[in-house]
Amino acid sequence: MDDLSIKKYFSPGVNDVIIVKLTGYVDHSNSRQVEHVISEILNSGKIKIIFDFSELVYMSSAGWGVFVGEIKTVREKGGDIKLASMTAEVSEVYQILEFFHIIDDYASINDALKSFGKNSEPDKSNGKEKDLTDSDEEPISKLLELTGVEPHMGEKPQKSNDVLVQESAANKSEKVDEEIKKKPARVYKAPKIKRRLPAKLSTQTVNVARLPLNEKIKRIISENPLISILQIQKQLKDNKYGSTQIGFLKLYGTLKTLNLNTKEKRYRYYRSV
């Protein structure tokens, strides 16, 4: 596998943004180099970083893990990490792992620079920090819109059956009206129906750790339909789910087989349970 080459430089006329160009491959053997570069930049006082992926051939899950681990630290300092000029191979994994919820990518270095603002100066007006958890989750209102389910906004009061019957009787002849009045009112009693609780509300004790992988995934989604692939992977590692270890790509393939590989699909499944 080719060696990893890392180059740092400033963009002309912009001295508060550092551009880092990665060339070659990033895997478990050299991902620490990327982590070290980010630490060096932060120690130098710079908090705005653009990674140029135009010559990056491959990024493993270990490499992506570095960005996920470091971006929160950068944002806590008031800065951010942007990705630019991503190759098709790298972009495919980026999309599969749904990292677009965490790190923004841009078609070019110039587009990434513009995202920092015209003057590219840190905004200290309100002192608010960008929270990683906020960017990892889609608002439920958006998913409701995508799935075609409108939020309940209240309904126009409808006339009761008694009122409708009275209005109908008033339009009939007096004879028919008298006959209706003479008849005793019938009281309707609805039959008792024993409702079965859905799976997500079932109180039956189940040893989740012994369930097949597919059932573990479905149970996780039934408890949180807006969960991301990374969060599903993390929950599977919990003792509750038998400390199940599964790689990003394998988990995505399993979700695709179950037709649960997007948040919209996972939310529709949740609605159907």
| Interval 21-76: pLDDT, tens | 999 999 888 999 999 999 999 999 999 999 999 999 988 888 898 998 899 999 99
Position 272 confidence tier, pLDDT thresholds 50, 70, 90: confident
Q: What is the pLDDT of residue 148?
A: 41
Is it the case that residue 146 has pLDDT exceeding 80? no
- Report which secondary-structure segment, H or E, holds 215: helix 213-223
- Of 4-18, 51-65, 81-95, 188-202, the one with minimum mean pLDDT is 188-202
3-state secondary structure at position 50 = strand
Q: How many helices (H) and strands (E) does the chain have?
A: 12, 5
The C-alpha angle with vertex 151 and arms to 148 and 154, in degrees rounded to 5, equals 135
Is it the case that residue 191 has pLDDT exceeding 60? no
What is the average pLDDT across 97-111?
A: 90
Q: What is the pLDDT of residue 130?
A: 34
DSSP code string of 127-156: -----HHHHHS--HHHHHHHHTPPPP----
Position 109 confidence tier, pLDDT thresholds 50, 70, 90: very high
Helix then strand then coil, % of the chain, to nearest 5: 45, 15, 40
Query: How many alpha carbons fall within 13 Å on the CB side of residue 3?
Result: 2
pTM of the model: 0.50
CB 58 within 8 A of CB 27: yes
Is it the case that residue 144 has pLDDT exceeding 60? no
Is it the case that residue 85 has pLDDT exceeding 90? yes
